[in-house]
Amino acid sequence: MKREELIEKLKSTDPEKVKDYLDVLDRIFLQAIVYKMLDPIEIENIINYWQKQIKSEINLECGSRNDFLMGTAIGRVLSHTDEVEDGESMRLSNLKAVNVAKEIAFQNYIKK
């Protein structure tokens, strides 16, 4: 099929859905490649390193938020509204998310 034909077909479909489906295919290929090229110990080490890096970024971001909220006049005003999440609750929420992401990564990349 020629490029022009594909472009015409894409115009008559939902391009976001097409992109989503291709993203799933990309993830499946990535999982297959990782599974074939790395042993489970290497995969686990990479996932643990990734989690450590993410936690470091979470700590930096949440610490900065707390510094702003507690260290500036406008931050103290904002901290009394329900619309602004403080650094510690944000940290707990993000840590919970990264832990779930790690469990999913183990399920996706380490077949037992």
> Do 79 and 94 belong to one domain?
yes
> Do 25 and 61 belong to one domain?
no
Under the banding of pLDDT at 50, 70 and 90, the label for residue 111 is low
User: What 3 state SS string does the chain have?
Assistant: CCHHHHHHHHHCCCHHHHHHHHHHHHHHHHHHHHHHHCCHHHHHHHHHHHHHHHHHHHHHHHHHHHHHHHHCHHHHHHCCCCCCCCHHHHHHHHHHHHHHHHHHHHHHHCCC
Percent above pLDDT 90 for the chain: 57
Question: For 10-20, how does the pLDDT look when each residue is reduced to its tens digit (9 = 90+)?
Answer: 889 998 998 99
Count of structural domains, the chain? 2
> Do 51 and 62 belong to one domain?
yes
> Do 59 and 110 belong to one domain?
yes
What mean pLDDT, rounded, does the chain reach? 90
Distant-in-sequence, close-in-space partners of 9: CB < 8 Å, separation ≥ 6: none
Q: Which two tokens stand for residue 44?
A: 């686990």
> Do 28 and 13 belong to one domain?
yes
* pLDDT reported for residue 112: 55
Give yes or no for a contact between 98 and 55, defined as CB atoms under 8 angstroms apart: yes
> Do 54 and 12 belong to one domain?
no
Domain range for 61 is 39-112
> Do 29 and 51 belong to one domain?
no
pTM, whole model, 2 decimals? Answer: 0.74
* pLDDT reported for residue 79: 81
Q: What is the mean pLDDT of residues 16-45?
A: 92
> Do 46 and 101 belong to one domain?
yes
Cα separation, 77 vs 107, in Å, equals 43
> Do 54 and 93 belong to one domain?
yes
Q: What is the mean pLDDT of residues 53-58?
A: 96
> Do 4 and 28 belong to one domain?
yes
- The more confidently predicted of residues 80 and 53 is 53
* pLDDT reported for residue 102: 95
